Amino acid sequence: MSGPGVDPASDPASDVTSGGGVDWDDLHRRATQMMQRAYAPYSSFPVGVAGLVDDGRVVAGCNVENAAYGVALCAECGMVSDLHATGGGRLVAVYCVGGDGQALMACGRCRQLLWENGGPDCLVMTPLGVVPMAQLLPQAFGRDDLESHHGAR
């Protein structure tokens, strides 16, 4: 293992990346519950995700497919909607799981969603342990870019 990642199996209570006392076991349990509610009749690839909010709330989501495949919603979409629907705030830790209950990486689009709602310090459980968003989406495009590159009008 290299980098700031930590193997959750060997050190579940690790404060590495300091998730500031993130209860990864609880996030995993909630993500797994959500995965079991996924609507994935076409891919049979259920996904669930849970995120810890900076005020202590936990928000969650599952993937929702559609007969028009292209409009399927990733689990993170539901979680971000849950975040704002229940009061907003910033994501500080996220755990996404697949049908086997193991950590699953967010797709490219969803990394952008996590960046918008959690920023570079948001911690994400990955198959290699916990890593901050700054490593999962290097040189990310974000709000600051809108403000500094809008050009003259």
Residue ranges that bind Zn ion, judged by CB under 5 A: 74, 107, 110
Q: Which is nearer to Zn ion, 31 or 74 (CB)?
A: 74
Which of 45, 29, 41, 24 has its CA nearest to residue 99?
45
Max distance between CA atoms of the chain, in angstroms, equals 55
Catalytic pick from 65, 76, 116, 147?
76
Q: Which is nearer to Zn ion, 97 or 110 (CB)?
A: 110
Among this protein's residues, is 116 annotated catalytic?
A: no
Q: Which is nearer to Zn ion, 18 or 43 (CB)?
A: 43
- Work out how close the CB of 74 gets to Zn ion at its nearest, in angstroms, rounded to a whole number: 3
- Work out how close the CB of 107 gets to Zn ion at its nearest, in angstroms, rounded to a whole number: 3
Distance CA 31, CA 16 (A): 21
Q: CA angle 42-44-48, nearest 5°?
A: 115
- Work out how close the CB of 97 gets to Zn ion at its nearest, in angstroms, rounded to a whole number: 13
Q: Say how many C-beta atoms besides its own lie within 10 A of residue 45's C-beta.
A: 13
Q: List, by residue number, the catalytic residues.
A: 76
